[in-house]
Structure 1
Amino acid sequence: MIVFFAPYPINDEEKKGGLCQRILSIDSLFENHERIYLTVSYTKYKKPEVINISDKIIVYRLNALKDYFLIKKLIKKSSLIYLHTIGNALKYLPYLKPEKIKVICDMHGVVPEECRMFNQKIKSFVFNIVEFLTLLKVDYIICVSNNMVKHFDKKYRLNSFEKIVIPIFTRDRTSCNFDADSKIKNLVIYAGGTQVWQNTSEMLDLANDISSESLPFHFWFPEKDYKKYSNFNLNDNIYFSTGSNADVINDYMKSCYGLILRDDNVVNNVACPTKIVEYLQYGLIPIVKSKEIGDFSQLGLEYITIFEIKNNVIGDLELKRNINNNVLIKFYKQIDNGIKKLEIISGCELKYIKLGKEI
């Protein structure tokens, strides 16, 4: 039995978040095994809640203090403990590490640095301590990029745990999936949220400066953001939409370029945005502010800078797409190698897709 310290997403709204998408992706690997999900809180769940999701998944919502011994009992029964983020690892720290049971922490991101980016200095300080204590108590950490591995090596110089790289992945493992003839010339797209790291204002400013009939911009936002931004007084060649994932993919198939204007900072340097993978799958060339996003620069990503799109210095799009298809294949190999290592250390037979073929 595998015990996950993580909230298991149940409704459709919960499943949209980045954290929950990662949880479901990892969960899909273990779908043939019994799993328990522990959602632990210090303030909520005065009474234990138990939800049977399926014959393989049970969700427990428990109070860290009142249900201490129940959590301890479930930990002792486990064959593997998997912590999703240091935020959930915090709920595991009060317990002694069971003998002969391996403990994995999937880091997801660099939480202390993310807090510092939002000027949350106290929270950053606390999570630095939690992160350090977590690393002392686990056998393995899972990082979403090699740059994240380098970050933790440089930050802590610890040898008490092993590192595995498993980038953000989904069940869709296709290589470039598009028809060049269906592309609308020079259509630029962005589909996603408006979190601070997305630099939404910079994307809109760029679109307002350079969009034209021959260079239209199409923004897909969640409904609440769509209502806000669609009322902005912007260039007539900027379009706003909201819709399903299928609607967005349909527009990806028609688009030439995808916006991803991330800043050059540690949070982005170690990240693995699914957006870039989606762009490559559908033959879009990323328009970037900084090329240092996760491992993509080292993998050979072809991109266009803000300067280049402003000055129409585009280059050979077909060549860029061919190179990016090879980048995508290398990226998939990173995933495959990481999952193979996870299979070995977990002792579980995992179910995953390898370059379009189920293993």
Structure 2
Amino acid sequence: MTSNKVLFFCPKNTINEATEYYVDILKEAVKESGYEISQSANFKDTKSFKNIFVMSAKWCFLVKLTNPRANIITWFQGLGGEEALLTRNSKRDKAIWSILEIFAIKSSWLNIYVSEEMREYFLEKYRITDRNYFIMPCFNKELNKSSFEYPEKYDVLSFVYAGGLDKWQCIEQTLELYKKIEEKFPHASITLLTKENQKAIELIKKYNIKNSTIKFVSLNMLNKELEQYKYGFLIRDDHIVNNVSTPTKMNSYLANGIIPIYTDVIKDFNVNFDRNSFILLDHKGSIDNWSEQIVSSEINTNIDIEDYRNELYILFSKYYSRRFYIDKILNSSIF
């Protein structure tokens, strides 16, 4: 085993549109710290390295079983146990994930969390501490400066929702909210960017939405698609899974100059966003309350494009900056 190399163990299906950019930032930081980088999807390769990056607590556990002396870098993308309960109602899976998370937090050489709230949740819940940690929110896009120049972008009342249509993503609340806006502004429109075409069609019919488009675009075409919209929906319930998360969807919206409409349950956003031009909804409010707030904002607020551009420049110079996190790792002497 060599101590000056780091293996990025990324099994099949763990690298996707949402994770590749994040992992590449970590690779670059590790490389600039003086290490050689290798990547493999083959579990057997984990036996040959001393320093190994893994994508979850589960892989930390499995790698340690076969290579107990390895220094493991574990990326905690979410709360495995709470997500199992939320999405599958599986108490069994929640219990298993709890064991894996305790093991990973205690035994990893470095834990990477997507928010300070996530770290605090883990340490408080399990009453343990970690040896070494780093925090970086989920994001995969830099600021698309040309998005501010899209013709009539902020004059046309266009809404977008990008992502899956699962219940926990609050798609039905989103469409119900949009319908109320459409009743006030018949010229408004909504676009659903999703792979779940048939489900989207059924939901549009259910809420009797008049002006809608359903489509799917690849990641490399997403900026070109998103840059035309004024508002983007990111509605979430007040649940611990959402409280500690940093959804990539927000980064995609903001990277394209979209004004986000979102609930105040994502604690990291509440701490790090100034929100001068954002529409922040009280999660305790009703959909009627929310629609009134959005309608009022649309009627009474004239967005200053230059001010909004500067607001997002600041956000993307730090919170959503690739270089910021690489430098932060280098200056902290983690590696």
TM-score normalised by the shorter chain: which range applies?
Answer: 0.7 to 0.9
Answering whether residue 308 of structure 2 is matched by residue 326 of structure 1, we say no
- C-alpha deviations, 1:31-89, integer Å up to 9, x for none? 7934142xxxxxxxxxxxxxxxxxxxxx42x5xxxxxxx56xx43x4241112111222
Any conservation in 1 of the 2:180–2:291 contact (CA below 8 Å)? no
Identity %: 21
- 1:323–1:309: structure 2 CA closer, same or farther, 3 Å change rule? farther
Q: Which residue of structure 1 aligns with residue 159 of structure 2?
A: 188
1:342 positional shift: 4.1
Q: Normalization by structure 1: what TM-score?
A: 0.73
Q: 2:77 aligns with which of 93, 97, 108?
A: 108
Q: Which residue of structure 2 aligns with residue 340 of structure 1?
A: 327
**Separation in 2, partners of 1:235, 1:174:** 30
**Separation in 2, partners of 1:292, 1:175:** 28
1:298 positional shift: 0.9
Any conservation in 2 of the 1:164–1:338 contact (CA below 8 Å)? no
- C-alpha deviations, 1:276-313, integer Å up to 9, x for none? 1121121111111x223251111124222363544512
1:20 positional shift: 5.7
Q: Which residue of structure 1 aligns with residue 234 of structure 2?
A: 260
Any conservation in 1 of the 2:161–2:191 contact (CA below 8 Å)? yes
Q: Which residue of structure 2 aligns with residue 299 of structure 1?
A: 272
1:238 positional shift: 2.2
1:255 positional shift: 1.0
**Separation in 2, partners of 1:257, 1:20:** 26
Any conservation in 2 of the 1:144–1:167 contact (CA below 8 Å)? yes
Q: Which residue of structure 1 aligns with residue 131 of structure 2?
A: 161
Answering whether residue 145 of structure 2 is matched by residue 142 of structure 1, we say no
1:260 positional shift: 0.3
- 1:292–1:181: structure 2 CA closer, same or farther, 3 Å change rule? same
SS at match of 2:319: helix
**Separation in 1, partners of 2:122, 2:296:** 38
Cα RMSD of the aligned pairs, angstroms, is: 3.0
Any conservation in 2 of the 1:255–1:284 contact (CA below 8 Å)? yes
Q: Normalization by structure 2: what TM-score?
A: 0.78
**Separation in 1, partners of 2:162, 2:171:** 11
**Separation in 1, partners of 2:198, 2:313:** 35
SS at match of 2:36: coil
1:197 positional shift: 2.5
Any conservation in 1 of the 2:74–2:108 contact (CA below 8 Å)? yes
- 1:345–1:108: structure 2 CA closer, same or farther, 3 Å change rule? farther
- 1:218–1:110: structure 2 CA closer, same or farther, 3 Å change rule? same
**Separation in 2, partners of 1:328, 1:34:** 27
1:188 positional shift: 0.7
Matched positions, count: 305
1:247 positional shift: 4.7
